[in-house]
Chain A
């Protein structure tokens, strides 16, 4: 293929040579998280203001209360994100709702310094008004980073979803090893087929399994049965009470 395929995954090579892929998040999801955080902060301000009006004003006077509230708001505006992002989950409540978290672009958790840097630079991203710079910067950078992210070398990524528990449907298929060596991609596709086939219509299943005729060697329903058998073998190559299985995907050794 001539050109690389457009993808949202960004590869990062770790120090020990392992390559991991970050599921970076773009401006749409992040703007939703920001909105949730904003509403949350406004709600907190309203509640604290009302509480202060009832409890503090009589004790310390209106001017001092206003001063304290302004200090409180200053602290919230500057450190709300920092504290949550530098915390163990690396996410503000809004980001957690959107299943996002902040990470270092190197794949590690975000450090306090990075959290401070990326959030204090919101001032720059806000310019010339209402986050115009930040939004455009996010849309046009490869990892959806705003200026603060670029400087602090951070990305916002999706938190990995919990593993999907697929319903175990009774398959009347005999477990069988594939007659040919399958590549990793092919094995992955077969496993995906096993996981998602229950959601598809019968016609679609047959259509897909008929594509694999060179592997199964049989058309139609028989092909589907054999394909499912190979899928079962991939999922669990070991017989419950049988002899040790051959190596996964390895060809039968010449006698």
Chain B
């Protein structure tokens, strides 16, 4: 065992970090570990399966119980790989019987339930101690790393169990119906033997073996790394390693110094200084230390030359002056025109009641003149007179025009000259005065009946229309 050949970075770590180091070690050599595992463990499992072919339910338990045996070959490999020598198949094959038989019974009986199994295994297997000495040794180591060894076992049992159940869960849906247990029947009858088919038990055993194969090497590696970390802390392996390297370097350097002293007869004191200067020069010659200079050229316009040009062409100034006058003149003219235009059309932008009224009230609707001037003073009386004269259309026309005139000028109903009777009615209803709207609806019906359908309107209806006249046309006249 030479510390110089370590293939693992040693330094005192926190326990969980040491566990991670073990995982990293196993991952590095996982392929080779799997090959060794297949050679040593799979035959044993095959034998177990043959022996227990009638009771597959026990297979996972036996496989679990024999775990301490499986651990030994991976540990053998890892402990040698950590020191740079990876054992091949032949070497492992030769060591195999010895590995499995050392401490065979204790490992499978009373030490099977040790909570620091993987942490204690290196002490049992690698240190060559026996009996009570092993016990003492493990106790000493456990003072520093026992708690973490226990946590490690807990964490990996949990991971293994989770993975096993996870794999069963994930593959449960893929099993044929004949292989899935009859859960309901099992709950009702508690008859485990008949409700769980053997195929399911076999599948469970295979899943368990797959997961043990995948996870157990990590558990072993983690325990080994914890053990290494423990010894590194207790015995200062990392310091020893660094000291050994320093010693070999200094011995070589001393030999060199001696040679230079003897043959070149140089003062010893001066040698390091010269050497340092030489080293400095060597280092400085590296491309990294090359000094790069960035030169930027700035273009400076030749003002003097331009000035001379300007002197030669004095008329350019006059052109510039004319252009400037033109520009300002145009700008002033444009602004003035804009102001005048805005003032002239101010009614477009300034909304006042006067302007709106002028725009809003149409004078002619559907070809009928509705200005107040075109109507008689007392519209209702004029309508009654027309009705008495037998001109029904004239009478209703008077009422209709009068009401429209009122609605447009006083109520400001937004009726335009292109609206039909229907549109007018909609606008009036939308304006919101209920009595007026109802009356106007009634009137519109009568007017349409007389004017377009040429149907007679009864005397009572005409009287009703005249009596209910809601518009104060007389007041309108005064204004």
Q: Residue on A with the closest CB to B18?
A: A8
- Interface pick from B42-50, B247-255, B309-317, B373-381: B247-255
Report the bound CA distance from A252 to B243 in whole Å.
Answer: 23
**Neighbouring B residues of A29 by C-beta, 8 Å:** 16, 19-20, 155
Say yes or no for B156: interface residue by CB 8 A criterion.
Answer: yes
Q: Known contacts A139-B218, A144-B23; is A208 also within 8 Å of B247 by CB?
A: no
The B interface is mostly helix, strand or loop, or mixed, namely helix
**Neighbouring B residues of A255 by C-beta, 8 Å:** 269
- Interface pick from B99-107, B159-167, B323-331: B159-167
Is there contact, CB below 8 Å, between A132 and B166?
Answer: yes
Q: Residue on A with the closest CB to B12?
A: A196
Say yes or no for A158: interface residue by CB 8 A criterion.
Answer: yes
Q: Which of B195-242 contact A (CB under 8 A)?
A: 214-215, 218, 222, 233-236, 238-240, 242
Q: Residue on A with the closest CB to B25?
A: A6
Q: Known contacts A26-B19, A26-B23, A31-B159; is A131 also within 8 Å of B238 by CB?
A: no
Report the bound CA distance from A27 to B221 in whole Å.
Answer: 13
Is there contact, CB below 8 Å, between A128 and B158?
Answer: no
**Neighbouring A residues of B21 by C-beta, 8 Å:** 6-8
Q: Residue on B with the closest CB to A5?
A: B9
Say yes or no for B111: interface residue by CB 8 A criterion.
Answer: no
Is there contact, CB below 8 Å, between A189 and B163?
Answer: no
List the count of A-B residue pairs having beta carbons below 8 Å apart. Answer: 169
Central interface residue in B20, B152, B159, B222, by most chain A CB within 10 Å: B20
Report the bound CA distance from A63 to B453 in whole Å.
Answer: 68
Central interface residue in A3, A8, A131, A144, by most chain B CB within 10 Å: A8
Is there contact, CB below 8 Å, between B270 and A254?
Answer: yes
Chain A interface residue count, CB cutoff 8 Å, equals 59
Is there contact, CB below 8 Å, between A128 and B169?
Answer: yes
**Neighbouring B residues of A26 by C-beta, 8 Å:** 16, 19-20, 23-24
Is there contact, CB below 8 Å, between A136 and B238?
Answer: no
Say yes or no for B476: interface residue by CB 8 A criterion.
Answer: no
Say yes or no for B13: interface residue by CB 8 A criterion.
Answer: yes
Say yes or no for A127: interface residue by CB 8 A criterion.
Answer: yes
Say yes or no for A24: interface residue by CB 8 A criterion.
Answer: yes
Is there contact, CB below 8 Å, between B239 and A196?
Answer: yes
A119 smallest CB distance to B (angstroms): 19
Say yes or no for B244: interface residue by CB 8 A criterion.
Answer: yes
Q: Known contacts A32-B155, A214-B254; is A186 also within 8 Å of B242 by CB?
A: yes
Is there contact, CB below 8 Å, between B242 and A5?
Answer: no
Report the bound CA distance from A129 to B7 in whole Å.
Answer: 36
**Neighbouring B residues of A23 by C-beta, 8 Å:** 17
Say yes or no for B336: interface residue by CB 8 A criterion.
Answer: no
Is there contact, CB below 8 Å, between B246 and A186?
Answer: yes
Q: Residue on B with the closest CB to A144?
A: B20
Q: B242's contact among A6, A132, A144, A189, by CB below 8 Å, is which?
A: A189
What is the 8 Å Cβ interface bit string for chain B, positions 246-267, against chain A (1 contact, 0 not)?
1101110110000000000001
- Interface pick from A46-54, A73-81, A102-110, A177-185: A177-185
Q: A6's contact among B7, B14, B243, by CB below 8 Å, is which?
A: B7
Q: Residue on A with the closest CB to B21?
A: A8
Q: Residue on B with the closest CB to A255?
A: B269
Is there contact, CB below 8 Å, between B20 and A24?
Answer: yes
A207 smallest CB distance to B (angstroms): 8
Say yes or no for B6: interface residue by CB 8 A criterion.
Answer: yes
**Neighbouring B residues of A127 by C-beta, 8 Å:** 170
Q: Residue on B with the closest CB to A24?
A: B20
Report the bound CA distance from A139 to B160 in whole Å.
Answer: 12
Report the bound CA distance from A253 to B162 in whole Å.
Answer: 65
What is the 8 Å Cβ interface bit string for chain B, positions 1-33, against chain A (1 contact, 0 not)?
000001111001110110111011101101000
Central interface residue in B168, B244, B246, by most chain A CB within 10 Å: B246
What is the 8 Å Cβ interface bit string for chain B, positions 179-197, against chain A (1 contact, 0 not)?
0000000000000000000
Which A residues lie at the B interface, using CB under 8 A? Answer: 1, 3, 5-9, 23-29, 31-32, 35, 98-99, 127-132, 135-136, 139-140, 142, 144, 158, 161, 180-183, 185-186, 188-189, 192-193, 196-197, 199-200, 204, 208, 211-215, 251-255
Beyond the given A26-B20, A28-B159, A99-B14, please list 10 additional residue pairs across the A-B interface where CB-CB is below 8 A. Answer: A5-B6, A6-B24, A28-B155, A128-B169, A140-B30, A186-B242, A189-B243, A200-B235, A215-B250, A254-B274
Q: Which 5 A-B pairs have the closest CB atoms?
A: A128-B170, A129-B169, A189-B242, A132-B166, A130-B166
21 contacts between A and B (CB under 8 A): A6-B24, A8-B20, A8-B24, A25-B16, A26-B23, A28-B156, A98-B16, A139-B27, A142-B27, A185-B245, A186-B242, A189-B242, A189-B246, A192-B239, A193-B239, A196-B239, A197-B236, A200-B234, A208-B239, A215-B250, A253-B273
